[in-house]
Amino acid sequence: MGVQRIESVIYTVDDLATNIRFFDDFGLSLEWADDMTAVFRTRIGQSLRLETHDRPDLPPALEQGPTVREIIWGVDTPAELARLAARVGASRSEDGVFRTVDRTGFGVGLSLADISSYVPSAPRPANTTGAVNRVNQALSSVGRVRPIRMCHVALNIPKAGQEEAVAFYVDGLEFIPTDVVKPMGTFMRVEGDTDQHNFLLCHRPDRAGINHVSYEVAGFDDVIEGGNWMIEQGWQEARKLGRHTVGSNVFRFVHAPCGGRVELAADMDRVDDTYGTRVHETTPPHHIWTLRSSRESS
């Protein structure tokens, strides 16, 4: 089936200690760290790699300051890995990752996808008249929020050359375009996933760099409580609670010291091949709703 998921995201950062504190607060598991590198894991085993040194096997950064350097995509079989690597001209590095550069200049890696041992828990039962799922059972806090997975990455690209930038992923890596928003960007999913999108090339800002990495959490409460926790730890919210139009997921964004933002996301649309590619001549509203209040925060 080809590409299954995001396998790893690699950033170059200035202040490793601050980034370690941020992603520890965010709920990822620290696998190991030294003076120059830290590696975190999601619950399904994807890796987030933070490095303070400039690696020669990665392309130059496309923006000043901390930013993303490479996205590694997990492929299901060795045969598919070799086939896709050949399609995009990727060469095998010493660590076994096949590496190349996309049309914008972002690093792209291909490796075998790890097999996840994650077993999801049952969703929190909800009640409404006519559909009662919780009796004599009061809810409590979800506790520390632990992101399940990196569900999508959004990159900013210049408007010039956007068609070639998208074609690298669609024609080369066989990503499936789901929603093409002509004034804004192209949403794509990988063959092995049913999320409405796993990848977004956004040309609206007309510059190259990281936009955000989205992390799926278990549900609506986790988005709210996870965002609240990050604010309590002193981190800055980038976009308040809402629900997107394209993708339909509930979201909350936090500014990240590694560059760009991270998104807490839940309840993304799932699609199959009958969804096709939906073309939007104008940009849909960013959100169906966002949190509003007539009260000032205390």
Residue boundaries of the structural domains of the chain: 3-115+146-290
CATH topology of domain 3-115+146-290: 2,3-Dihydroxybiphenyl 1,2-Dioxygenase; domain 1 (3.10.180)
Q: Which has the closest alpha carbon to 240: 145, 143, 21, 231?
A: 231
Cα separation, 190 vs 203, in Å, equals: 20
Kindly list the averaged pLDDT for each block of 10 residues, start to end, along the chain of length 298: 96 98 98 97 98 92 97 97 98 95 98 91 94 96 97 97 98 98 98 97 95 97 98 97 98 98 98 97 96 76
Cα separation, 229 vs 160, in Å, equals: 40
How high is the pLDDT of residue 297? 54
Would you tell me how many other CB atoms lie within 10 Å of the CB of residue 295?
A: 5
Element (H, E) at 229: helix 220-232
How high is the pLDDT of residue 1? 81
Tell the residue number behind the tokens 């030294």, with chain if given: 34
Cα separation, 12 vs 50, in Å, equals: 6
- Beta carbons of 144 and 229 less than 8 angstroms apart: yes
Cα separation, 44 vs 117, in Å, equals: 7
128 burial type by CB count under 10 A (0-12 exposed, 13-18 middle, 19+ buried): exposed
How high is the pLDDT of residue 59? 95
Q: For the residues of 81-114, what is the DSSP string, one character each?
A: HHHHHHHHT-EE-TTS-EEEE-SSS-EEEEEEPP
pTM over 0.75: yes
DSSP conformation class of 259:
S
Q: Which residues, 6 or more positions from 253, have their beta carbon under 8 angstroms from its beta carbon?
A: 212, 237, 238, 239, 261, 262, 263, 264
Cα separation, 247 vs 197, in Å, equals: 7
DSSP conformation class of 215:
E
How high is the pLDDT of residue 163? 97
Q: Which residues, 6 or more positions from 270, have their beta carbon under 8 angstroms from its beta carbon?
A: 194, 195, 196
